[in-house]
Structure 1
Amino acid sequence: MPHLSTFAIVCAVRAHGEHGAIARLLTPDHGLTAGYVRGGRSRAMRPVLLPGNVVKADFRARTEDQLAGLTVELAHSRAPLLAEPLPAAAIDWGCALTAAALPEATPYPALHQALAGLLDAVEAAPAARGWAVALVRYELLLLAELGFGLDLSRCAALGDVDDLAYVSPRSAAAVSRAGASGYEQRLLPLPPFLVAGGTGEWAEIMDGLRLTGFFLERSVLTDRRADVLAARERLVERLKRAVA
């Protein structure tokens, strides 16, 4: 990638040197891509390099192995949302998860589209219920794209496709009420909206977050990537307080 010009979503930024920053952006066709922004910590650039913002990005590198120099121009700012605790927590978590979980330079066009949709929902919805289901679906899609997808097509115990109500934490497969009989306490609740579509009540949304959170922590956010789970915990706690 000697030269790449594209619109991208800012996912993570860290200081580099005295004035610069390394930004990791999710691009539509090249996946997660990092670049060095000269003056990235300046007063002018800090509002641009905020997670969730959409930027016009220009990456330039001399070789494939060199960290690219990156210049960015703000295309769409979500900075006003960062003053609101719940939207800010949702943006923080969605972008942090993406930056921590995805390998660099691997295309994930479906995830780019889904993250853009999630951020748009956070921005447009008048309340958290308007975007919380989208967050659960984004986490579920990310698991699938990384090879840890849940099989919600049929019951792992009986093979039936009706009345799916649980997920096995061992096999990541759905289980019907009949198939779960006597073992319900060992299984994870499966919210109906993940099978039938549509939206869900708050109890179902929280079940969805517990479900995806279990598999994210077990299969994706391990070792050095586990520290980003703190952002998810903040979001879940704020959601609990909002619906209490």
Structure 2
Amino acid sequence: MEWQAEGLIIGTRRHGENAVIIETMTAEHGRHLGLVKGGRSRKYAALLQPGNSVQLVWRARLADHLGMFTVEAVKLRAASLMESRQRLALSQLLCEHMRLLPERDPHPRLYAEALAMHDNDADGETLARALAKFEMRLLNELGFGIDVSACAITGEEEGLCYVSPRTGRAVTKEAGEDYKDKLFALPEMLGGSLKMGPAEAIDAAFRLTGHFLHLHIWSPRQLSPPSMRQALIEGLVKAL
């Protein structure tokens, strides 16, 4: 068995005395692991770092084996990420999010969005919007999508302003008015119609995605939310 693809390194761990198991995200093969012989050598020290893009060749005797990777540099970002606390935290969070995906299950849109954010020097608001949409897509592709297609009560497709914390379904302002204190605000960046300032909208977006990530993913898997997430969000909002 063999395939070749470009991939983003999202995690590494030691294996034996000299080898490293790298965890990568590719467009064609999804989240995929493989062994790199000699991966702890100086030759690979700068290459096998999360956030780097590499050209991969994966080989295994059978499809369900761990397999071996050979790797070549495509774009080494790790050093530049270390120069910015915000970019480093963003990269770490994206990698943690992608490690939630099923192994070998392709998610090309998430992969493309993650690469774009790694290479984007946009302002804090633009990155915050992109990250919130990424978390929204992550929930959807894991099977726990927030339904913003139509009001859960009236069926209307316009004027959606709130989301139920229990069902994840959106409602209009009129339908949710009596319960708005118990509902999540749905900002425009996530498909809503609620008018909000930039900082308020970003805070609302991450409250919404964070709730459902905890409800459906972190808590059932007995995981803690990524430690850098809240500090990154606060930093992005503060920069507005």
TM-score calculated relative to the size of structure 2: 0.90
* Structure-2 separation of matches of 1:135 and 1:54: 19
1:142 aligns with 2:138: yes
Amino acid paired to 1:72 = V
1:95 aligns with 2:95: yes
- Seen in structure 2, the aligned counterparts of structure 1 residues 42 and 222 have a Cα distance that, compared at 3 Å, is farther
* Structure-2 separation of matches of 1:160 and 1:94: 34
Structure 2: give runs of 5+ residues left out of the alignment.
Answer: none
Amino acid paired to 2:43 = A
* Structure-2 separation of matches of 1:28 and 1:50: 19
Report the counterpart of residue 54 of structure 1 in structure 2.
Answer: 53
Deviation at 1:158, TM superposition (A): 2.2
Amino acid paired to 2:109 = A
Match of 2:166 among 157, 170, 176: 170
Deviation at 1:69, TM superposition (A): 1.0
* Structure-2 separation of matches of 1:221 and 1:39: 34
Report the counterpart of residue 185 of structure 2 in structure 1.
Answer: 189
* Structure-2 separation of matches of 1:39 and 1:18: 9
Deviation at 1:240, TM superposition (A): 4.7
- Seen in structure 2, the aligned counterparts of structure 1 residues 165 and 105 have a Cα distance that, compared at 3 Å, is same
**What CA RMSD, in Å, does the superposition of the two structures yield over aligned residues?**
2.1
1:235 aligns with 2:232: yes
Q: Deviations over 1:47-98 (max 9, x none)?
A: 2122221100111112223211111111012120222111110110001110
Deviation at 1:225, TM superposition (A): 6.0
| SS of residue in 2 equivalent to 1:11 | strand
Contact 1:87 / 1:128 at 8 angstroms: preserved in 2? no
Deviation at 1:157, TM superposition (A): 2.1
Identical aligned pairs, as a percentage? 36
Report the counterpart of residue 203 of structure 1 in structure 2.
Answer: 200
Contact 1:48 / 1:74 at 8 angstroms: preserved in 2? yes
Number of equivalences: 237
* Structure-2 separation of matches of 1:64 and 1:236: 40
